[in-house]
Structure 1
């Protein structure tokens, strides 16, 4: 949503819905809604059993706001090396409202403009989950090379 009302409050209903949806997925180890160290977030820990053995941990952190803004970060620790990327919708000077910061470190210079679905649940379903599936496949391919 663009326009005059750019106030930002946590979209608790969307994050609660996503917590329930992620909680039903077999590759999810646990969900933490509004943990004390990330009060505006849903943190989803993925089951490392789905990844090659050198992948130590994988998680998503989702933030959603009632003005339509969101941030979804993918965090991966592999052989002691932490990598992350992020799907964003927010006003800022470096890119369009919808944009993506690729692996390995979400650098602003590498950010790419995107066009996401209006609803964050659709962004998760159509963009983020397919990206994670491709990432898992690429990690397994590189582990067998």
Structure 2
């Protein structure tokens, strides 16, 4: 239990763990790992990325009140890059927002409007973004 109105949506995260587990670009999924007990961590297969990329993962958190966080993390030569998609109340942006690469800074966040269902956010927003990111990395050493 996170708070009176924010309980982990275990059913959604379990469903997403199974769905990600069937994808060829996923190396492994870890549902509610001890170091992130509210999360589904999805490790992507770096064989799909240029050799300079050491690690890529998604971390998903979902709550029964509709809040969610989806973080993308990429590591190369010790350099960490990340962005995230979020739906939660906070003072700096709209409830739906996206802090972009390279460091998901709150000050750089832009307001977004996501569909209600997190599985559709993953299908329609996050996965297409990841595909585009892979293409960008293959095309350029500067991103």
Runs of 4+ residues deviating >2 angstroms: none
Q: Which residue of the other structure, out of 1, 23, 30, is the alignment partner of 1:25? A: 23
Runs of 5+ consecutive residues of structure 1 not aligned to the other structure: 1-5
Provide the C-alpha distance between the structure 1 equivalents of 2:140 and 2:64, rounded to a whole number of angstroms: 40
TM-score w.r.t. length of structure 1 = 0.94
How many residues align structurally?
A: 138
1:1-145 to 2 correspondence within 5 Å? 7-143=5-141
Deviation at 1:78, TM superposition (A): 1.4
Residue segments in structure 2 that go unaligned for 5+ positions in a row: none
Q: Alpha-carbon deviation of 1:127?
A: 0.1
Q: How far apart, CA to CA, are the structure 2 residues paired with 1:25 and 1:57?
A: 17
**d(CA) in 1 for partners of 2:52 and 2:39?**
27
Taking the aligned partners of 1:109 and 1:61, their CA distance within structure 2 comes to: 21
Distance of 2:37 and 2:135 partners within structure 1: 32
- TM normalised by structure 2 equals 0.95
